[in-house]
């Protein structure tokens, strides 16, 4: 962007990067900056499918599925053969609790690009949609396929070791809205801590419009919330460790 501040793709990719950083570091303050760049991308180049898809991913990562759906749908209209657009739009639909449409969209992406480098991610998207549809066995199968395609990926490792096992015993309605972002962790212990942190973030985040996500196994905590201000880092980390032990 230092070279070309009018690059729609640069704005969109920066929005995507900010959304990922927010997930990893719990930086909810990055939401406004992400939105600024995502909107700049679509304003500069409203007919650029690549920029629209990157914006879709950024919105999805923040749980803004309606905005993600709008960007992804526009990308598909501009380029019906854009596999990533179909898959990411499918995840938006999944987040909006429209699993049947989500499965159709994601499967379309798989059909368009069966050897895509992101294939393992799309299988995890499918797993999420199948969970919401109450098809738990299919969800576990998709998780395993993602790990088979790329055994070293963070998302697959988290899914196979933790989420997929939990899905087996969960009712479909309890799975609704659980997002894939917690899968972006290297180990179960790290990911459990991130899930707990994100659960607290959502409760304090007025911009979040997605269904309930990242709910801890128990809503009880021995660390009381501090009224009127954010809890100190040491207290937040203690709460995360306590919640992670329940996973």
Final residue of a domain: which of 184, 205, 237? 184
Tell me the H-state helices in the chain. 8-25, 31-44, 49-61, 65-78, 83-95, 99-112, 119-132, 136-149, 154-158, 164-169, 172-175, 188-204, 233-244
CA dist 95 and 134 (Å) reads 14
* Claim to verify: residue 125 and residue 20 sit in the same structural domain: yes
CA dist 111 and 226 (Å) reads 50
Is 2 a domain residue? Answer: no
* Claim to verify: residue 168 and residue 61 sit in the same structural domain: yes
> Among 60-69, 112-121, 145-154, which is the least confidently predicted range?
145-154
Highest mean pLDDT among 45-49, 71-75, 243-247: 71-75
Alpha carbon of 102 to those of 28, 37, 134, 190, 237: distances in Å?
27, 26, 13, 29, 35
> Among 24-28, 38-42, 126-130, 133-137, which is the least confidently predicted range?
24-28
Range of the domain at 216: 185-247
User: What percent of the chain has pLDDT above 90?
Assistant: 22
CA dist 128 and 106 (Å) reads 11
Give Cβ neighbours of residue 197 (< 8 Å, ≥ 6 apart): 26, 236, 240
Q: Evaluate the CA torsion angle 210, 214, 217, 222 in order and state its sign.
A: negative
Give Cβ neighbours of residue 39 (< 8 Å, ≥ 6 apart): none
Whether pLDDT at 117 is above 80: yes
At residue 83, the pLDDT reads: 94
Contact 16, 50 (CB under 8 A): no
At residue 113, the pLDDT reads: 93
Q: What is the mean pLDDT of residues 167-178?
A: 45
Is 212 a domain residue? Answer: yes
Is 3 a domain residue? Answer: no
Give the burial string for 4-43 (b: 16+ CB within 10 Å, else e). eeebbbbbbbbbbebbbebbeebebebbeebbebbebbbe
At residue 175, the pLDDT reads: 42
Count structural domains, the chain: 2
* Claim to verify: residue 56 and residue 157 sit in the same structural domain: yes
The tens digit of pLDDT for each residue in 44-68 reads: 777 888 888 888 888 887 788 999 9
* Claim to verify: residue 196 and residue 234 sit in the same structural domain: yes
* Claim to verify: residue 169 and residue 95 sit in the same structural domain: yes
Final residue of a domain: which of 159, 184, 209? 184
pLDDT range class, residue 211, cuts 50, 70, 90: very low
Q: What is the mean pLDDT of residues 144-159?
A: 72
Q: What is the mean pLDDT of residues 138-161?
A: 74
CA dist 156 and 15 (Å) reads 24
């Amino acid at each position: 962007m230092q070279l070309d501040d009018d690059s729609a793709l640069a704005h969109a990719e920066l929005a995507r990067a900010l959304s990922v950083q927010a997930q990893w570091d719990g930086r909810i303050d990055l939401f406004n900056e992400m939105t600024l760049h995502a909107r700049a991308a679509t304003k500069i180049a409203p007919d650029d499918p690549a920029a629209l898809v990157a914006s879709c991913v950024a919105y999805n990562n923040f749980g803004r599925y309606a905005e993600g759906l709008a960007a992804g749908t526009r990308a598909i209209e501009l380029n019906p053969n854009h596999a990533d657009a179909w898959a990411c739009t499918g995840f938006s639909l999944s987040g909006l609790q429209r699993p049947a449409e989500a499965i159709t969209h994601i499967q379309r992406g798989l059909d368009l690009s069966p050897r895509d480098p992101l294939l393992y991610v799309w299988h995890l998207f499918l797993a999420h949609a199948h969970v919401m549809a109450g098809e738990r066995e299919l969800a576990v199968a998709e998780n395993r396929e993602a790990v088979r395609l790329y055994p070293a990926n963070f998302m697959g490792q988290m899914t196979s070791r933790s989420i997929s096992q939990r899905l087996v015993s969960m009712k479909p309605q309890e799975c609704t809205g659980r997002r894939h972002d917690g899968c972006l962790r290297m180990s179960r212990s790290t990911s459990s801590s991130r899930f707990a942190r994100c659960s607290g973030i959502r409760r304090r985040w007025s911009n979040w419009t997605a269904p309930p996500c990242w709910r801890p196994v128990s809503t009880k905590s021995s660390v009381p919330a501090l009224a009127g201000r954010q809890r100190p880092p040491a207290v937040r980390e203690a709460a995360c460790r306590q919640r992670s032990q329940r996973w």
